[in-house]
Homo-oligomer: A and B are copies of this chain.
Amino acid sequence: MLTNQPKTESIANLRTDAGLASALRVSLARLNRRLRKQAAQHSLTPTQLATLAAVERHAAMTPGELAEHEKVQPPSMTRVIAKLEERGLLARSPHPTDRRQVTVSVTAAGATLLKEERRTKEAWLARQLKGLTAEEKATLRAAAPILEKLSKT
């Protein structure tokens, strides 16, 4: 490398909405990047993992609904489901009323994988939290529901 000096990070003015937005964007991106690296050893693609989680969350879905939910085209979802079924994480069953449709649900193995995935990431986060003061943790406790709110608006 020629010039290894990182440019000085522009210090955002936290008192303005724009400044706070800027600081949050940087912090959130960085933390999520670190968190993503903590994935459990399951070798699922992001779409596969998100699909599995969506099926679990909604208890039972059709391929069409899943394609819509994950913003992929139906043929792509067919492949994703096939891969997950092949690995025994999802099960396909006939739709009770419309024989054109198919119902997809999470198997016990799929639920276990999701649990393990979450456990791994949360264990890393919990380890990081140990390095904080009680006051800092209190701030994060207060912030968590607000961050949740931000994505809902």
- Interface residues of A, Cβ cutoff 8 Å to B: 1-7, 14-15, 17-18, 20-35, 56-62, 65, 95-96, 103, 118, 121-123, 125-126, 128-132, 136-137, 139-151, 153
Q: Which of B21, B62, B121, B141 contacts A125 (CB 8 A)?
A: B21
Sample (7) of A-B pairs whose CB atoms are under 8 Å apart = A1-B61, A4-B58, A18-B122, A20-B126, A21-B125, A22-B118, A128-B151
Judge whether B130 and A17 touch: CB under 8 Å: yes
A20-B140, A27-B145, A27-B151 given. 18 additional CB < 8 A pairs? A3-B58, A20-B126, A20-B144, A22-B122, A25-B118, A25-B121, A25-B122, A27-B147, A28-B32, A31-B147, A31-B148, A34-B150, A34-B151, A125-B150, A132-B149, A139-B139, A139-B146, A140-B147
- A contact patch SS: helix
**Shortest Cβ distance from A41 into chain B, in angstroms?**
16
Residue of B nearest to A15 (CB): B141
Q: Quote the shortest CB–CB distance from A98 to chain B (angstroms).
A: 11
